[in-house]
Amino acid sequence: MQTQKSKFGIYFYTRSNSTKVGGLKAIEVRVTVDGVSKVFTSIYEVAPEMWNQKEKKERRRRA
């Protein structure tokens, strides 16, 4: 029996048009396995100025 390798990817982003009360944005997640994608909203929210779209993550807070 031969095992096939799966291609797997996770992409995090915020939508530009979906700001919640208080100015926060929900972090959306797209998971792709073997070319099949599913998108869902995570339970986490971030302030727009703290989201680094290029690196797909929250900017570090300075102490």
What pLDDT does residue 9 have? 92
Phi, psi torsion values for 48, nearest 5 degrees: -55, -40
Instruction: Judge whether residue 21 has pLDDT over 60.
Output: yes
Contact residues for 21 (Cβ-Cβ < 8 A; gap 6+): none
Enter the pTM of the model. 0.70
Q: Supply the DSSP string of 18-29, one letter for each residue.
A: -B-TTS-EEEEE
Residues 4 and 44 sit within 8 Å (Cβ to Cβ): no
Instruction: Judge whether residue 62 has pLDDT over 70.
Output: no
**Whole-number mean pLDDT of the chain?**
83
Instruction: Specify the amino acid at residue 46.
Output: V
What pLDDT does residue 33 have? 93
What pLDDT does residue 57 have? 73
- What are 33-53's pLDDT values in tens digits? 998 999 999 888 888 888 877
